[in-house]
């Protein structure tokens, strides 16, 4: 991975509760979310749906905060 401060935003479509929405995150956040989902033995879509249900901010921010929170637990 190069300079993390120059990472480009990657937009992906995700299905949440039967609706498709676009989420924009930097590539390292997508990688971290995929690893967390795998560690929790569930799909990335299921993890995102769970975070979406509990969020108090926009989805992209909630996903970033989830990754940060998981890093602080370690």
**Using CA atoms in the order 70, 11, 45, 55, what is the torsion angle rounded to 10 degrees?**
60
Residue 2 has pLDDT above 70, yes or no: no
> Is the pLDDT reported for residue 4 higher than 80?
no
Q: What is the pLDDT of residue 74?
A: 63
E strand or H helix at 11: strand 9-16
Please, are residues 32 and 4 in contact by the beta-carbon 8 Å criterion? no
Neighbours of 47 (CB within 10 A): 19
Each residue's pLDDT tens digit, 9-42 = 999 999 998 999 999 999 999 999 999 999 999 9
> Residue ranges of the domains in the chain?
24-73
Cα distance between the two ends of the chain: 21
pLDDT tens-digit readout, 53-70: 999 889 999 999 999 999
């Amino acid at each position: 991975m190069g300079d993390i401060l120059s990472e480009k935003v990657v937009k992906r479509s995700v299905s949440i509760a039967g609706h498709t929405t676009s989420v924009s995150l930097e590539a390292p956040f997508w990688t971290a979310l995929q690893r967390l989902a795998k560690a929790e033995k569930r799909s990335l879509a299921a993890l995102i749906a769970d975070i979406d249900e509990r969020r108090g901010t926009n989805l992209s921010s909630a996903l970033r905060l989830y990754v940060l929170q998981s890093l602080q637990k370690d």
